[in-house]
Amino acid sequence: MPEIVWDSKLYDKQHHFVSDYGADVLQWLAPRPGEDILDVGCGTGQLAAQMAEIGAEVFGIDASTDMIATAKASHPNIGFEVVDATKLPYKNLFDAIFSNATFHWIEDQPALIEGLYNALKPKGRLVAEFGGKGNVKSITDAISVAAKNLGLSAKLINDFWYFPSISTYTTLLEDRGFEVEQAWLFDRPTKLTGEDGMLKWINQFATHAFKNLTSDEAEAIKSLAIEILKPKFFNKGEWTADYRRLRIKAWKR
Chain residues binding ligand BEZ by CB under 6 A are: 101, 104, 131, 135-136, 161, 205, 243
**With respect to ligand BEZ, which residue has the nearer C-beta, 179 or 187?**
187
At 221, which amino acid appears?
A: I
Closest CB 131 distance from ligand BEZ, rounded Å: 3
- Taking Cα atoms as reference points, which of 145, 156, 143, 229 lies closest to residue 192? 229
Closest CB 209 distance from ligand BEZ, rounded Å: 10
Closest CB 243 distance from ligand BEZ, rounded Å: 5
- Taking Cα atoms as reference points, which of 91, 110, 102, 85 lies closest to residue 178? 110
**With respect to ligand BEZ, which residue has the nearer C-beta, 52 or 101?**
101
**With respect to ligand BEZ, which residue has the nearer C-beta, 34 or 189?**
189
- Residue pair 131/75 in contact by the 8 Å Cβ criterion: no
The closest residue (CB) to ligand BEZ is: 131
Closest CB 36 distance from ligand BEZ, rounded Å: 26
**With respect to ligand BEZ, which residue has the nearer C-beta, 104 or 252?**
104
Closest CB 68 distance from ligand BEZ, rounded Å: 19
**With respect to ligand BEZ, which residue has the nearer C-beta, 17 or 251?**
17
